[in-house]
């Protein structure tokens, strides 16, 4: 087996399969990227009271919060915000806020928000029973909220006011953190982990921008799709960017524990829905933009304008923008026209970019390059994951860190020691003589980029597995099917998270795209509705020097089928499939056992004359 460098070490990719790499988790801990944390929408619901909150919160008078919403504390029916409850409001103080009635704690404001099917006001009695001090809602929820006798703050758009309320209640904790926010279609998660690596190295070296406000500082925070982290404590992520109430509480916990800096993925949904209201990022990063979330955004212009919100004075102080991306170039042109500070980066080495990559060497599972800065300074850097797109992610991270005040050499050193990102080109090693990788790619551009990257480092054939999620943008499905068929030797079309949709209907759309690829340009196309069986099929076709690539779910720990979330981990399933194949081959190569002295009846359905038939029937029954 040819030597390949480990992307991610885990129980499925044991230590010793590659040279040891530095740990970011401190002395006494094994190296390697953290295993993905199961997400709430991928596993069975866990007990509340929800996300972490700071232990010490100074009570804020409800009257003060009412004034923040442009209402007098005694108002009962006038102004932009109305407070009901009469004299019962006197002396009421608030120590928290949540939009989830199950997560209410004594002293909370419960934000009763309008929803697509239900209104949060339907759950005010539950919130009251758990100790809610007041309710924030819209005119549609006011009557139900007032029926509890609790003080009620009514505003036209309660979701749009949660961020500033939460920041006020928790004492504007974000002001004490160095905040770096990352947006774009692809690469947010990887870039966030790389930035965090640079911040950890800077904290280790005592660079002042990373120091916490509490003794014992120097810890870093991370908020994103895979997980949130406070130092080394890991918290499952329900979505890429938490709701404003949870986000500000998380900032409060970070400040309380001595965290000095936080790296955060910022989705377009978060910007449109106000999840980052109350945040002002020190550095905002724009990676790229390609078609995605067009079930939420009506078109690409709306999608761009949503991302554009991160680069306003209300949301960020400095911008880092990808010079090579079409939308990135548009953004930097607009920002410079407004007089906003912008620093650009170019993985393609464009001389007009502030930071550019030169002498790029793409390796089997990582790349090295020279980062050249605006003053001609050169820094040797590494992208610890394969693919040209990860050179761009690493350069974006380095540029953001430098703009944040981190020394370029320190930034590059920290980025280069990141041991991997869960579900992003994550290697699965069970001793096989072919490469096995799991990746989160779930849109056409990402699928193409990963396949191109893997092809460059694969001696043999590429066997790829891919599905499309249900109840999500259906327009990308034909393109994803076509990309897999065109760029793989074996393209196995399967299920992702079909949710409420018919898995076969999703597969039919993907197959339509695959069928439009000319026959001489496409590989073998297989359809297998069962994802585990699809992974086994790809593994079964792999030979020495080949690559098995499982795409779409990455770090996810469950599969949503018809509203039921079943445990499912691509990394584990792929590992098990490799082990099962190896065991079967070993058994087949073993010397045959001596024949049984007892004769077998010819009518026995399990006789040697019909083993394949019996096995075939078993498979059909399972399906």
390 is in an annotated binding site: no
**Which residues are registered as beta bridge partners of 98?**
110
CATH architecture of 426-587: Alpha-Beta Complex (3.90)
> What angle in degrees, to the nearest 10, is found between the helix axes of 477-487 and 503-515?
50
Q: What is the DSSP letter of 37?
A: P
Q: How far apart are CA 40 and CA 32, in angstroms?
A: 24
pLDDT at 596: 62
Residues whose CB falls within 8 Å of the CB of residue 167, separated by 6 or more in sequence, listed in order:
173, 174, 248, 278
Q: Any idea which of 44-58, 219-233, 436-450, 573-587 has the lowest mean pLDDT? A: 44-58
**pLDDT, tens digit, 9 for 90 and up, residues 164-205:** 999 999 999 999 999 999 999 999 999 999 999 999 999 999
496 is in an annotated binding site: yes
**Strand 462-468 to 547-551 pairing:** parallel
More confidently predicted of 216 and 528 = 528
In terms of Cα–Cα distance, which of 341, 368, 345, 369 is closest to 355?
345
Known binder of ligand: residue 547? no
142-146, 400-404, 456-460, 493-497 — which is least confidently predicted? 456-460
Q: Residue 74 pLDDT > 70, yes or no?
A: no
Tokens of 123: 């759950």
Residue-averaged pLDDT of the chain? 85
Q: Does 552 appear as a known binding residue?
A: yes
The reply to whether 101 sits in an annotated binding site is yes
Distance of CA 385 to the CA centre of its chain: 16
Poorest-pLDDT segment among 122-131, 338-347, 526-535, 591-600: 591-600
Mean pLDDT of 67-71: 81
> Is 509 assigned a ligand-binding role in the annotation?
no
* 267-323 pLDDT, tens digit each: 999 999 989 999 999 999 999 998 887 788 889 999 999 999 999 999 999 999 999
Of residues 363 and 521, the one with the higher pLDDT is 521
| Interval 56-85 mean pLDDT | 68
How many angstroms separate the CA atoms of 458 and 547, rounded? 6
Q: Does 188 carry a binding-site annotation?
A: yes
pLDDT at 437: 95
Confidence at 605, pLDDT banded by 50, 70, 90: very low
End-to-end CA distance of the chain: 35
Q: Name, in order, each residue with C-beta under 8 angstroms of 456's C-beta and a sequence gap of 6 or more.
A: 362
- Structure tokens, 287: 């990676």
Look-up of token digits 């056409």: 444
Which class would CATH give 60-73+92-168?
alpha beta
524 is in an annotated binding site: no
Is 522 known to sit in a ligand binding site?
no
Q: Is 212 annotated as a binding residue?
A: no
Least confident of 226-230, 233-237, 294-298, 392-396: 294-298
| In the chain, where the domains are located | 60-73+92-168, 172-358+389-417, 426-587
Q: Is the pLDDT reported for residue 431 higher than 50? A: yes
Give the containing element (helix H, strand E) for 136.
strand 134-137
DSSP lists the bridge partners of residue 525 as 491
Neighbours of 475 (CB within 10 A): 12
Q: What's the pLDDT band for 3 if we cut at 50, 70, 90?
A: very low
**Contact partners, residue 163, CB within 8 Å, separation at least 6:** 244, 247, 248, 274, 275, 276, 277, 278, 279
- The average pLDDT across 39-57 equals 60
Q: What is the pLDDT of residue 190?
A: 95
Domains 172-358+389-417 and 426-587 share a fold: no
pLDDT value at position 211? 60
Q: Is residue 101 within 8 Å of residue 74, measured between CB atoms?
A: no
Q: In the predicted model, what is the mean pLDDT of residues 483-512?
A: 97
Mean pLDDT, range 88-103, rounded to an integer = 87
Q: Whole-angstrom Cα distance, residue 231 to residue 259?
A: 7
The Cα 578–Cα 396 span in angstroms is 36
pLDDT at 479: 97
Contacts of 507 (CB under 8 A, 6+ apart): 467, 493, 494, 495, 527, 529
Polymer length in residues for the chain? 623
CB atoms within 10 A of CB 323: 21
> According to the annotation, is 358 in a ligand binding site?
no
Percent of the chain whose pLDDT exceeds 90: 71
Task: Give the highest mean pLDDT range of 73-82, 194-203, 228-237, 588-597.
Answer: 194-203
Q: Can you give the pLDDT at residue 2?
A: 32
Is 187 labelled as part of a ligand binding site?
yes
**Whether residue 75 has pLDDT greater than 70:** no
Q: Is the pLDDT of residue 340 over 80?
A: yes
Say whether 189 counts as a known binding-site residue.
yes
What's residue 499's pLDDT? Answer: 96
Please tell me the distance from the alpha carbon of residue 92 to that of residue 84, in angstroms, as a whole number. 13
185 annotated among ligand-binding-site residues: yes
Taking alpha carbons only, the member of 221, 243, 226 closest to residue 188 is 226
Q: Which CATH number fits domain 172-358+389-417: 3.40.1390.10, 3.40.980.10, 3.30.70.100, 3.40.1190.10?
A: 3.40.1190.10
Q: What is the mean pLDDT of residues 528-555?
A: 97
What is the predicted pLDDT for the residue at 460?
96
275 among annotated binding-site residues: yes
- The mean pLDDT of 393-420, rounded to a whole number, is 96
User: How high is the pLDDT of residue 49?
Assistant: 55
Other CB atoms within 10 Å distance of the CB of residue 622: 8
Is 190 annotated for ligand binding? yes
Tokens of 623: 């399906």
Does 102 belong to an annotated binding site?
A: no
Average pLDDT over residues 202-217: 69
């Amino acid at each position: 087996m040819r030597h390949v460098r480990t992307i991610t070490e885990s129980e499925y990719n044991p230590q010793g399969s590659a040279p040891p790499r530095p740990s970011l988790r401190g002395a006494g801990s094994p190296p390697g990227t953290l295993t993905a944390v199961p997400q709430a929408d991928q596993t069975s619901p866990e007990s509340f009271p929800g996300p972490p909150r700071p232990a010490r919160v100074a009570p804020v008078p409800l009257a003060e919060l009412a004034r923040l919403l442009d209402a007098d504390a005694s108002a009962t029916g006038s102004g932009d915000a109305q407070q009901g409850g009469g004299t019962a409001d006197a002396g009421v103080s608030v120590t928290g806020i949540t939009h989830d009635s199950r997560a209410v704690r004594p002293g909370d404001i419960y934000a009763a928000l309008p929803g697509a099917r239900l209104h949060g006001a339907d759950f005010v009695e539950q919130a009251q029973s758990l100790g809610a001090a007041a309710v924030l809602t819209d005119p549609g929820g006011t009557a139900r909220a007032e029926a509890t006798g609790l003080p009620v703050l009514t505003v036209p758009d309660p979701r749009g006011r949660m961020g500033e309320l939460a920041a006020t209640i928790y004492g504007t904790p974000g002001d004490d953190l160095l905040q770096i926010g990352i947006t774009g279609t692809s690469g947010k998660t990887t870039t966030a982990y790389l930035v965090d690596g640079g911040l950890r190295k800077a904290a280790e070296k005592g660079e002042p921008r990373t120091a916490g406000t509490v003794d014992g500082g120097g810890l870093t925070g991370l908020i994103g799709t895979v997980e949130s982290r406070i130092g080394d404590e890991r918290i499952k992520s329900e979505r890429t960017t938490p709701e404003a109430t949870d986000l500000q509480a998380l900032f409060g916990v970070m400040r309380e524990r001595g965290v000095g800096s936080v790296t955060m993925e910022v989705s377009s949904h978060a910007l449109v829905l106000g999840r980052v209201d109350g945040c002002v990022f020190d550095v905002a990063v724009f990676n790229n933009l390609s078609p995605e979330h067009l079930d939420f955004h009506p078109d690409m212009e709306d999608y761009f304008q949503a991302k554009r919100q991160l680069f306003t004075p209300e949301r960020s102080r400095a911008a880092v923008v990808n010079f090579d991306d079409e939308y990135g170039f548009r953004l930097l042109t607009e920002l410079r026209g407004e007089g906003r500070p912008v620093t650009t980066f170019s993985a393609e080495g464009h001389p007009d970019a502030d930071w550019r990559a030169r002498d790029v060497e793409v390796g089997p599972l990582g790349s090295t390059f020279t980062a050249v800065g605006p003053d001609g300074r050169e820094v040797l850097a590494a992208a610890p994951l394969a693919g040209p797109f990860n050179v761009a992610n690493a350069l974006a991270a380095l540029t953001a860190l430098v703009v944040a005040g981190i020394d370029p050499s320190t930034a590059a050193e920290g980025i280069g020691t990141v041991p991997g990102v869960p579900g992003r080109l994550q290697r699965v090693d069970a001793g096989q003589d072919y490469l096995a990788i799991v990746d989160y790619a779930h849109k056409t551009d990402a699928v193409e980029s990963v396949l191109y990257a893997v092809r460059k480092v694969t001696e043999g054939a590429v066997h790829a597995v891919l599905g499309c999620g249900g109840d999500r943008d259906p327009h990308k499905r034909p393109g994803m099917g076509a990309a897999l068929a065109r760029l793989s030797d074996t393209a196995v079309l399967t299920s992702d998270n079909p949710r409420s949709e018919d898995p076969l209907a999703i597969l039919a759309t993907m197959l339509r795209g695959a069928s439009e690829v000319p026959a001489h340009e496409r590989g073998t196309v297989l359809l297998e509705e069962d994802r585990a069986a699809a992974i086994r099929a790809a593994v079964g076709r792999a030979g020495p020097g080949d690559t098995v690539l499982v795409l779409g779910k990455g770090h996810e720990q469950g599969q949503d089928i018809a509203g039921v979330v079943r445990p499912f981990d691509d990394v584990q399933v792929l590992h098990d499939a490799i082990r099962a194949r190896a065991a079967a081959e070993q058994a087949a190569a073993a010397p045959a056992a001596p024949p049984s002295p007892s004769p077998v009846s010819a009518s026995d359905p399990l006789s040697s004359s019909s083993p394949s038939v019996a096995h075939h029937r078993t498979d059909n029954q399972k399906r």
